[in-house]
Each structure stands twice: as structure tokens, then as C-alpha cells.
Structure 1
Amino acid sequence: MGAAQSKSKQQQDLQSRTDFSWDEIKHLHQRFRQLSGGRPTLRQDDFLHIANLQLNPIGSEITRAFFDKRNLRKGTGGLADEINFDDFLTIIGYFRPVDWAVGSGSEEVERLRKEKMKFLFHMFDGDFDGLITLDEYSNVVEELLYGGRRAQKEKDSVRLIARSIAQGAMREADAVSSRPKDASKEYPGISFEDFLKTWQGFDIAANMQVSFLNLETINH
């Protein structure tokens, strides 16, 4: 009786912290065990077997985001060597649609949207300094455009296009930034506040829905 009550409390705690249903949690735990080979933790190498990530042009950035301590709410920078199942659920939560929270009110929906935006911001901000520099923005855009699928001779032109897109994003962010304007000083990089302003019309809820409940691995 006591063990059953304890288990029920653990279930309730996990559900309240993650907002997943118990069926979803059980399903995700199966996927976690599949990826880890039965180990209690995951390493970045384990994500190499996920077919969907291998086909995604920014699969490496997404994988890295799973180990970003900022996303795990375990610090302001750096990568964790391994993540446990609770960590896994924390990251998967960023990809959930916000529809389920609509009844909670507009403030809760906005909070969840901001969390998704921060996750996306961290994918650009590779050096953990709280700013997206021109080079960082260019690198992610280049991955999206190039994706390793084009001929090598096209890479230079793709890099130029990515740089141009990144420069445009920097100019837009600088224009909406509340920092004091000084023509003699170059815009240092996009802060999270500026990032929110420039991506204001972006439907983050629709674009960050990944079917991790149907996560598939490559069989060897």
C-alpha cells in the first residue's frame, strides 16, 4: 500500500513538473531506454542513431541543445556530459505545442512561447555569452541552407548568402534594440530581448513541434 502510494506520488510529481500525461511519460521512457541501450543516461553519441536528426540540416545543433545546461536549467553555460530521463523530459517539453495551455490563460501561453524562443536563442548562441554574433547567426543559417547535401563547389556561394541573411538580421535587431545608439560602435550581437522583438511574428508554436513521441532510431 505504502509503495503504491509512493509510486503514485512520484507519478504525480513527474506529471506536474513536465505537463506530460502519464501515458506520454511511459512512452518517452521507452524511447529513452531505446536510445541509451538500457543505460540510465544519454550521451551525445546516442543521438547519432536518430534517423530524423540525421536528415535534419541542423541536427547537430538540436542534439547539442539537449545537453546545454541553460536549457536543462542547470547553469548559465556549458554542456552536460550526460543527461538523465528527467533532463530528457525537460528538453522534449520545449517541443510540445502550447495548445494544451490555452485554458490556463494568455500569461501561461506567453511564458511557454518565451521558453521556446529562449531554447531557439540558445541554439544560435553557441559560446554561451548571451549574444548571437554575426558569425554565430551565419553558421546556423549556412547549415540550414547547405545541410551537407549540396556539392562542395556550392558551399562558397551558400556561405555568402548565409552571411548576407545574417547581416540583415543583425541590422534589424540593431534597429529595434533599446541599447543607446552609437554610430562609432558596431552592434555587438543580438541579445535575447532583441531576439524576441525581431522574431515577434514567428509562429514558434507551429515550428517547434517535433514528434518525439514517435522517435525512431536506426537499426544496425
Structure 2
Amino acid sequence: EFLTRENLLCISEVNINPLGKRLIDVIMEDYGENNKIDFQQFIFLLAKFRRAKFKSSVTEFNTRNSKLRFLFDMYDRNHDMKIDRNELLEVLKMMIGGNVHDDQIEMIADHTINELDKDGDKSITFEEFCKTLDRIDADDKMSMKFLS
């Protein structure tokens, strides 16, 4: 059995989320094959979002780094290991596009890159991305409670 894009869109939380289609793109393109994901692949993906309450519950799948990598990959869809202006604009437009004029969104993108880009390449590397989120509890913000 496989899950398809259509199956994932049936999850109301995904369907109503402004980044839902982007989330499905990441799932299908980075974790699935041929626009579907099998059960084992889906479980490995879900493992990223398991809360690590104790050091003993941290695995290679649910580390802070793996959660931040997943979040970074929501932006970096060409997989060049950096978020460029166009990739940032795409996500910003998904999140706030209907409420804010394009000129303002472009200003937000430019300001964000100027603030986060430490090496001057006009993009955000994974290291720069992580540094910005140092004060954020990624385990809390990017975790789901699973029944145990």
C-alpha cells in the first residue's frame, strides 16, 4: 500500500494549511518515489516529529538537526543547500500572499536574506538557517505527540 498526494490532501490539517501543498511536495519528492510514499517511508518521516523527552528517546531521525533540515528543505526545493530569494519568496507568498502586496513580500524577503546571510552570497545556507533558530526549541515546535 502507498499513500498518494490525494491521500495526504484528505488530512484536513494539511489541506487547510497554506503550506500544505509544499509539505506534500517535500514528502513525495524527498521521502517517496513516483509521487507516492510507502508505509515504511512514511513512518521514517513521522519519526522526525517524535518528541525527544529524554536523551534515550533521541534517535537519528528525531534530532534537532533532522527537524531543522526538514524545515530548511521546505524552502530549498532545488536542493542546492541554500535558500535563495526566489525560494524564500515562494514560501512567503504561500503564507501571506493574499494579504500583502508583492512589493512588500519582496521587501520582507530581501530584508530576511540581508539579516541572515553572513557569508555575503545573497542566500541562506543551512548553517545560517540553524544559527538563526538557535533560540527556538525545535523539539517543541516541530514535534507531535504520539500515543505510547
TM-score range, shorter chain: 0.7 to 0.9
- SS of the counterpart of 2:79? coil
Cα distance change, pair 168–188 in 1 and its aligned pair in 2 (3 A): closer
Q: For 1:97 and 1:58, locate their aligned partners in 2 and report how far apart those are by CA, in whole Å.
A: 22
Q: Which letter maps to 2:10?
A: H
* Uncovered stretches (5+) of structure 2, i.e. residues with no partner: none
Higher helix proportion (structure 1 or 2):
1
Query: What do you get for the CA RMSD once the two structures are aligned?
Result: 2.6
Match of residue 107 from structure 2 = 164
Q: For 2:41 and 2:104, locate their aligned partners in 1 and report how far apart those are by CA, in whole Å.
A: 36
Match of residue 47 from structure 2 = 93
- SS of the counterpart of 2:109? helix
Q: For 2:16 and 2:145, locate their aligned partners in 1 and report how far apart those are by CA, in whole Å.
A: 14
Match of residue 209 from structure 1 = 143
Q: Which letter maps to 1:46?
A: N
Q: For 1:46 and 1:118, locate their aligned partners in 2 and report how far apart those are by CA, in whole Å.
A: 24
Q: Is the 8 A contact 1:172 1:198 kept in 2?
A: no
1:103 to 44, 55, 76: 55
Match of residue 80 from structure 1 = 33
TM-score (norm 1): 0.58
Deviation, structure 1 residue 208? 1.4
Q: Is the 8 A contact 1:139 1:162 kept in 2?
A: no
Q: For 1:108 and 1:163, locate their aligned partners in 2 and report how far apart those are by CA, in whole Å.
A: 38
Q: Is the 8 A contact 1:62 1:123 kept in 2?
A: yes
* Uncovered stretches (5+) of structure 1, i.e. residues with no partner: 1-39, 73-78, 182-186, 214-220
Q: List, as ranges, runs of 4+ consecutive aligned residues in structure 1 with deviation greater than 3 Å.
A: 210-213
Q: Is the 8 A contact 2:92 2:105 kept in 1?
A: yes
Higher strand proportion (structure 1 or 2):
2
Match of residue 81 from structure 2 = 130
In the alignment of these two chains, the number of paired residues is: 145
Q: 1:118 and 2:69 equivalent? A: yes
Q: Is the 8 A contact 2:114 2:122 kept in 1?
A: no
Cα distance change, pair 56–210 in 1 and its aligned pair in 2 (3 A): farther
% same residue: 26
